[in-house]
Amino acid sequence: MNIIMAFMSGLTMSAGLIISGMINPQKVIGFLDVFGHFDPTLAFVMAGALGVTAIGYRLLANSKPILCDSFDLPKKNQIDAPLIGGAVLFGIGWGLAGFCPAPALVGVGIGLPKAIIFVIAMLIGMFLARKFLNSK
Amino acid sequence: MDISYVHGLIGGALIGVAAVILFWFNGRIMGVSGITSRILAKPDRDYWWRLAFVFGLMLGGLFAQIKFPVKVVISASGWELIASGFLVGVGTVIGSGCTSGHGICGMARFSKRSIVATIVFMSAGVLTVFFKKMLGI
């Protein structure tokens, strides 16, 4: 059952990414281009997503998940060097091509060769970074 | 108002619905980079739902392509895609999240770490686009 709901969640998210236009890297680069041809669409996407998620999380705060015993939330709350350094690297990569993980995965489903190249490089990066973190 | 802003708001709300589904039923945060990168680790009991989530994302793209093809413009060159994909992969694992995990889910629960991460990666993205244009690459 939790496999089906995760699938539904992924499917819903891909619909959201397609309708919002966020699978188009050009829209993302447009948002980041604040000193040039600024395209504010991503701000509307964030507003819609944050609004629904914040309300949903708030309403569920005092309950339990339907399919398991408790909510699994990140335990860390310190601002540390890996958080900042990782976010810098991610931001540079994001600005370079306009892709972040979710839209790129939808792009693979669409069958875009460039999205496939991006995702393969991303998986290699993820694999090596996990290996590096585990070795420490 | 530009119609693409309305689409942005509606699509964004759907992304929120997806985050609430995963939280309400599975009790999990919808962080796409974390879900994807952990599939590469040794399989544990969370392996199958993670795979199903990624499969849902990709199948959504396939459905859309069959029913109402979307036009996607990717201007990045092959090397740019390889470099950016690698940086996104490394950065999201080290920084424990991406646009969905930090930017949406983390900020929606007012996590200090996620708010800082989102400000940092957005700024890095803005600077990257700026310098890329300035240098003409």
Residue B101 is given by DSSP the state I
Per the structure, the count of domains in chain A is: 1
Residue pair A32/B127 in contact (Cβ under 8 Å)? The answer is: no
CB atoms closer than 10 angstroms to residue A23: 30
Structure tokens at A110: 């669409």
Instruction: Determine, for residues B25 and A85 on separate chains, whether the beta-carbon distance falls below 8 Å.
Output: no
Which residue out of A118, A131, A132, A136 would a mutagenesis test of the B interface target, given it has the greatest number of B Cβ atoms within 10 Å? A118
Longest dimension (CA), chain A: 49
Instruction: Determine, for residues B89 and A125 on separate chains, whether the beta-carbon distance falls below 8 Å.
Output: yes
Cα-trace Rg, chain A? 17
Residues whose CB is less than 8 angstroms from the CB of residue B31 and which lie 6 or more positions away in sequence, other chains included: B97, B98, B100, B101, B102, B105, B106
The parent domain of residue B86 ranges over 3-135
Structure tokens at B67: 């029913």
Minimum CA–CA partner of B55 in chain A: A7
pLDDT-derived band at B8 (thresholds 50, 70, 90) equals very high
The parent domain of residue A110 ranges over 2-135
Which among B14, B48, B98 has CB closest to A100?
B98
pTM over 0.90, yes/no: yes
Tell me, what's the ipTM?
A: 0.95
Instruction: Determine, for residues A95 and B132 on separate chains, whether the beta-carbon distance falls below 8 Å.
Output: yes
- Residue A72's alpha-carbon distances to A64, A87, A102, B74, B92, in angstroms, are 11, 22, 21, 36, 19
Minimum CA–CA partner of A69 in chain B: B27
Instruction: Determine, for residues B33 and A101 on separate chains, whether the beta-carbon distance falls below 8 Å.
Output: yes
pLDDT, residue B95, reads 97
Tens digit of each residue's pLDDT (9 = 90 or more) over A22-80: 999 999 999 999 999 999 999 999 999 999 999 999 999 889 999 998 999 998 989 99
Tens digit of each residue's pLDDT (9 = 90 or more) over B54-96: 999 999 999 988 888 888 989 999 999 999 999 999 999 999 9
Tens digit of each residue's pLDDT (9 = 90 or more) over B38-56: 999 888 999 999 999 999 9
- d(CA B91, CA A68) in angstroms, rounded, equals 30
- B101 min Cα distance to partner chain A (Å): 10
Structure tokens at B45: 């009991």
Residue B15 is given by DSSP the state H
CB atoms closer than 10 angstroms to residue B45: 7
Residue pair B72/A28 in contact (Cβ under 8 Å)? The answer is: no
Per the structure, the count of domains in chain B is: 1
- d(CA B96, CA A19) in angstroms, rounded, equals 27
Instruction: Determine, for residues B12 and A49 on separate chains, whether the beta-carbon distance falls below 8 Å.
Output: yes
Least confident of B13-17, B68-72, B112-116: B68-72
Structure tokens at B107: 């900020």
Residue pair A81/B75 in contact (Cβ under 8 Å)? The answer is: no
